[in-house]
């Protein structure tokens, strides 16, 4: 296992409790073997600060329309090749109590979900409705940043020559996914590498001034809301009952609004969660 980080005894113990004792191949087998432990990049650290405006649990969905033949075997091989070449796409993140580190899993041990489904029997209206349901269900899925692959795929055949490929990945690693290169590999199309532009080369030219402006504005923002009964540094929460009272007039208005949108239970739960965060954090807005 490669690491340039200096880990304290407590941090090493946390890592061992999460990933097991790291042993070489001759001494035994560990399904949670780590290839490397790395410090977070400047971009990754933004997701784990007290003022993280984008949660590390935020996932993005992109639906690609592909014309041609998408073979399940070739698609799986392309995914495996991409993971071998890009270690950031097989990264996980572990809270050691005082900081979060990035751990890299060996490519053969990372098995992102790949679903293949035939939708050729659906018409356009049915496809649109099905995809909306698929997107919503996909985004409701839970993920463990310490263990689960942070990218997954779903391939839908929509006609004899058309495919839709849904790529869902954590915003945390999305900058490392090269869609053009990946689909060239899937379709056996030659790929020409293009140099990446730095932020200074992108319009507008006053990038530095813009970044400086927003840094000053966001620096005054309040810290992330504290969760009830959160134990700082351990990343675990205890389940308890939180009792509060909602004024009858407000509850009546809430019921009327919820019923008109057929979202009564959801609206009440979301409002209760908001009230709880306001009271715990002693703030008007959370």
Q: What tokens were used for 227?
A: 């969760």
Neighbouring CB atoms inside 10 A of 96's CB total 20
What does the pLDDT read at residue 204? 56
Phi then psi dihedrals of residue 246, to 5 deg: -110, 130
The Cα 18–Cα 255 span in angstroms is: 44
Task: Using DSSP, state whether 30 is helix, strand or coil.
Answer: coil
Cα 118 to the center of its chain, rounded Å: 27
Q: How far apart are the first and last CA of the chain?
A: 41
Residue 136: what are its φ and ψ, rounded to 5°?
Answer: -65, -45
Cα distance between residue 46 and residue 218, in whole Å? 12
For residue 251, give the DSSP letter.
H
Q: What is the pLDDT of residue 237?
A: 47
Task: Report d(CA 74, CA 218) in Å as an integer.
Answer: 45
Structure tokens at 10: 């407590």
- Beta carbons within 10 angstroms of residue 251's beta carbon: 13
The count of other CB atoms within 10 Å of the CB of residue 93 is: 20
Cβ neighbour number for residue 78 with a 10 Å cutoff: 21
**Collapsed DSSP state (helix, strand, coil) of residue 240:** coil
- Can you list the residues of the chain whose pLDDT is less than 70? 1-2, 4, 24-29, 50-53, 196-207, 220, 222, 228-244, 261-268, 285-286
Contacts 24+ apart (CB under 8 A), 235-238: 235/95
* Claim: this prediction has a pTM higher than 0.85: no
d(CA 238, CA 278): 19
How far CA 242 is from CA of 20, 229, 255, 269, 276, in Å, comes to 36, 10, 21, 13, 8
Burial (CB count <10 Å: 0-12, 13-18, 19+), residue 222: exposed
């Amino acid at each position: 296992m490669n690491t340039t980080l200096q880990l304290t005894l407590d941090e090493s113990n946390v890592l061992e409790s999460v990933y097991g004792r790291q042993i070489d191949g001759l001494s035994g087998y560990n399904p949670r073997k780590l290839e490397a432990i790395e410090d977070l990049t400047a971009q990754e650290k933004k997701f784990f600060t007290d003022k993280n405006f984008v949660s590390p649990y935020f996932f993005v969905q992109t639906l690609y329309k592909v014309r041609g033949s998408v073979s399940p075997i070739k698609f799986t091989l392309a995914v495996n090749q991409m993971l071998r070449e890009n270690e950031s796409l097989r990264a996980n993140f572990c809270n050691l109590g005082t900081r979060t580190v990035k751990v890299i899993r060996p490519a053969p041990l990372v098995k992102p979900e790949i679903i293949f489904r035939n939708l050729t029997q659906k018409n356009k209206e049915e496809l649109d409705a099905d995809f909306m349901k698929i997107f919503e269900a996909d985004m409701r899925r839970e993920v463990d940043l310490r263990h689960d692959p942070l990218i997954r795929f779903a391939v839908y055949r929509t006609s004899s020559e058309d495919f839709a490929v849904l790529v869902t990945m954590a915003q945390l690693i999305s900058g490392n996914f090269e869609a053009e290169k990946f689909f060239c590999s899937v379709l056996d199309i030659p790929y020409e590498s293009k140099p990446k532009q730095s932020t200074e080369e992108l319009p507008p030219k006053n990038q530095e001034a813009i970044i400086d402006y927003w840094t000053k504005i966001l620096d005054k923002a309040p810290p992330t809301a504290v969760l009830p009964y959160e134990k700082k540094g351990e990343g675990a929460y205890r389940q308890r009952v939180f009792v509060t009272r909602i004024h009858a007039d407000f509850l009546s208005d809430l019921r009327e609004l919820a019923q008109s949108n057929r979202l009564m239970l959801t609206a009440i739960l979301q409002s209760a969660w908001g009230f709880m965060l306001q009271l715990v954090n002693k703030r008007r807005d959370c």
